[in-house]
Amino acid sequence: MSDDEDIVVEEPELAEDDPMRAFLPTSFGKKSKETNIAAQIDRTKRNTHHRAAGAQGGGPLEAGGPSADSLKGPKSDSETSDGSSDDSDSDDESDDDDEFPVSHELVLKTHERAVTTITLDPAGGRLASASVDGKVNLHDFAAMTPTTLRAFRSVDPWQSKKSSTQSESHPIYKIEFSPLTGGLFLCISAHPQAKILSRDGDIVTEFVKGDMYLRDMNNTKGHISAITSGTWHPTDKNLCVTAGTDSTLRIWDINNKRSQKEVIVFKSKVPGSAGRTRMTSVAWGSPLQGGSNVLVAAALDGSLVMYSGNGPFSRPAAEIRDAHKADTWTSGIDISSDGRMVVTRGGDDTIKLWDTRKFKTPLVTVNHQSTSAHYAMSNIKYAPNATSILTGSATGALHILNPGNLQPELVAPVTPGSPVITVDWHPKINQIITGSANGETHVLYNPTVSNRGAVDVMSRAPKKRHIDDNPLLTMDQSIGISGDSIVTPGSMGGRRGGVTASGKSKDPRRPEVLQQTPFMRNQPDEKHIAENIPLARMLHEDPREALLKYADAAKKDPMFTQAWKDTQPVTQYAELSDDEEEEGPDKKKVRR
């Protein structure tokens, strides 16, 4: 065969529509299916339409308020009579999506109860969320994929590692990463002791509890009642402040947990309060261009108090008695990046804007339905560089307000029907995170203006699910063997069949094991008592029978009366007369 001759390879001839073609290979080697990243990101696009408010309207959009169409003003020439519009409306919506990163969302369903607080580290790579069930879930964006949206660790800060029987848990009010280092975060719950945890969830510091029997709060070394809020010092990585229901603000050094560094006792001027009230929230701000720090706190009596952030704290720099309605919970306070403006969200259904240079009356007041009656952790936050103000609503929407007049620039539904409790806008990754009462954490982003975070998660290939990823199908958790293993009956010790994670026996003939309640976990079992407590076995023994066991031995071989064994006289009892027998030994003759 010469080189000029063509080699003809005979191939099976199949019709184009022959179903056999699906089983024939089209190429050699290992074939890998490439992931369509654009399709993945497009699946996370929000279908809800955002509502933007115009100049008219008294405040943020509420349920039952004016519709979105009424806020757009009169119809333009480009809009037809049947309600349709040209491409300019779609361009406006795209402009809103580009301005605010709310076009796409990533939903994390890692809590079973309401998400009360969220925080991100300064780099934006780690997200921590907390709930009313007392648990803190840690999420790492670098480790998540579109099919593995879960927390890599769940921590209960009040579950002691040394004692597994401790089951005390408290609703968590506030967690916040250190803005300077990011290696620690502050954890505050309905408890007198705040804690400092590492970024991996390990407890680093637990501040001391004060003496509740001391009347003067200046002499206590810590809070004597529950803490409601707290935050970090804006420029010192070792300092943080906590606000408590004992009418005090306490500044702590994380390197000294035995006593606070400074204690600020707020004296209420409301008649009948005995000078005490609950501190509901606190914020500590510092101008980016330099200047004095500002410490602002709110109280349950409606007061708003401001201190110089660098001290001294003997008296406030300014105080407003009726900033909000008394006996309503002012849950949110935040300070602008320039340190001049303060925004507060009160329990009296109002949002107010204050100027620290003229701290007497609010600059702007708008109506906004409060959720602090059910969730005292509802917050309000300034956007990066104070370009907007973020807060949630009772209807489940994210409200982005204008920082000058507090009018809504955008209202984006997040969890309709479930209140949005906490919000945050991270400046580095340009993404908005919300926590709702239904236990969901939403990460809102825009692929064009956001970076890292949720964008990286949706840009990865989904993790291939293997049967080994589900331990319920491949492993018997009670005895630790593979589910398809062949086990000879009776060859393994222990209980037959084992129990499931919920405590139910796998053997249908066995009764269900009672679940261990917190009261049962706090009680020592009988084996522990019998082994560690002397004479514990005598609790269930009749003392008379226990003494009669040694009656014969004491009579035959007396241990302590051995010297008088032979000289001891025989006991003789006097005989009773007939009269005494009738009367009985217990009856006495009457003296005459």
In 3D space, the residue among 374, 453, 457 whose CA is nearest the CA of residue 420 turns out to be 374
Of the candidate ranges 82-91, 161-170, 194-203, 538-547, the one whose mean pLDDT is the lowest: 82-91
Q: How far apart are CA 298 and CA 243, in angstroms?
A: 9
In a domain? residue 92: no
pTM for the predicted model, two decimal places: 0.69
d(CA 109, CA 436): 11
For 225-235, the pLDDT digits (tens) are 999 999 999 99
| Cα distances (Å, whole numbers) of residue 55 to 50, 417, 537, 572 | 17, 27, 81, 115
390 assigned to some structural domain: yes
pLDDT > 50? residue 559: yes
**Residue 42: inside a domain, yes or no?**
no
pLDDT level of residue 4 (50, 70, 90 thresholds): low
pLDDT of amino acid 419: 94
Report whether pLDDT(72) > 60: no
Asked if residue 247 belongs to a domain, the reply is yes
Q: Over 60: is that where the pLDDT of 165 sits?
A: no
pLDDT in tens, 336-352: 998 899 999 999 999 99
> Among candidates 331, 302, 508, which has minimal Cα distance to 423?
331
DSSP β-bridge partners for residue 26: none
Res. 587: pLDDT tops 60: no
CB 218 within 8 A of CB 265: yes
Position 537 in a domain: no
Q: pLDDT tens-digit profile of 438-483?
A: 999 999 999 999 999 999 999 998 877 665 555 555 554 444 555 5
Query: What is the residue whose two structure tokens read 């009772």?
Result: 394
Q: How many domains does the chain fold into?
A: 1
Give the per-residue pLDDT at 71. 33
Burial state string for 155-169 with b = 16 or more CB within 10 A and e = fewer than 16: bbbbeeeeeeeebeb
The answer, yes or no, to whether residue 522 has pLDDT greater than 80, is no
- What is the Cα 585 distance to its own chain's centre? 76
> Which tokens hold the place of 411?
């209202």
> Which of 84-98, 515-529, 532-546, 557-571 is predicted with the least confidence, judged by mean pLDDT?
84-98
CATH of the domain at 262: 2.130.10.10
Percent of the chain with pLDDT over 70: 73
pLDDT-derived band at 162 (thresholds 50, 70, 90) equals very low
Return the minimum-mean-pLDDT range out of 25-39, 72-86, 98-112, 532-546.
72-86
- Identify which has the larger pLDDT, 50 or 304: 304
d(C-alpha 437, C-alpha 459), whole Å: 29
Q: Is residue 568 part of a domain?
A: no
Report if residue 279 sits inside a domain.
yes
Provide DSSP, 436-497: ETTS-EEEEE-TTT--STHHHHHTSPPPPP-GGG-HHHHEETTTTEETT----TT-S-SSSS
The pLDDT assigned to 376 comes to 86
Compute the Cα dihedral for 576, 581, 584, 588 and give only its sign: negative
Q: Is residue 495 part of a domain?
A: no
Predicted local confidence at residue 465, as pLDDT? 65
The Cα 232–Cα 585 span in angstroms is 84
Domain with 430, as residue range(s), is 97-463
Give every CB contact of residue 302 below 8 A, 6+ residues apart in sequence.
321, 322, 323, 324, 325, 326, 327, 328, 330
